[in-house]
Amino acid sequence: MFSRLSLGAFLCLGTVMLQAAPPQFARPFSDRAVLQANQPVAIWGTAEAGEKVTVKFRDQEVSATTGEDKKWSVKLKPMKYAEKHEGAELTVSGKDGKTTRKDVVIGEVWLC
């Protein structure tokens, strides 16, 4: 048996849970990330199924549509090494907002 207060709290919680969220980057893409120089760079993440997302970095803008699995992926064209190591914003935007990663640079990526 729900009291009126409990039912109201339950309905508010349900409303919060149904709110859409902006597209997200996968874990490798964080603030101060390094993207590989002189190679096409794959960027990926998640969003609502069927949502069009747009990734922007420096002078590039690439779009994709998420699949049924809620995943999206784009490729940025090769970029030259950043001599001054000046970071730029990497953003992904969709119908419900955008997510930004700050201070992203172009350089050499080594996996150990």
Residue with tokens 């149904």: 18
Q: What are 33-55's pLDDT values in tens digits?
A: 999 999 999 999 999 999 999 99
Which sign does the torsion angle of CA 25, 59, 104, 79 carry? positive
Q: Show the CA angle centred on residue 34, arms to residues 21 and 70, nearest 5°.
A: 30
Q: What are 78-101's pLDDT values in tens digits?
A: 999 866 768 999 999 999 999 999
| Residue 78 DSSP class | P
Tell me, what's the pLDDT at 111?
Answer: 82
**Span 101-111, average pLDDT:** 92
Check pLDDT > 60 for residue 8: no
Q: What are 20-36's pLDDT values in tens digits?
A: 789 999 999 999 999 99
Tell me, what's the pLDDT at 4?
Answer: 56
Check pLDDT > 80 for residue 5: no
**Alpha-helix runs per DSSP H in the chain:** 4-18
Tell me the whole-structure pTM to 2 decimals.
Answer: 0.79
Q: Show the CA angle centred on residue 59, arms to residues 57 and 63, nearest 5°.
A: 60
Give the other-Cβ count within 10 Å of 6's Cβ: 10
Q: What is the CA radius of gyration of the chain?
A: 18
Residue with tokens 């907002």: 97
Residue 28 vs residue 7, higher pLDDT: 28
Nearest to 96 by CA among 16, 20, 29, 41: 20
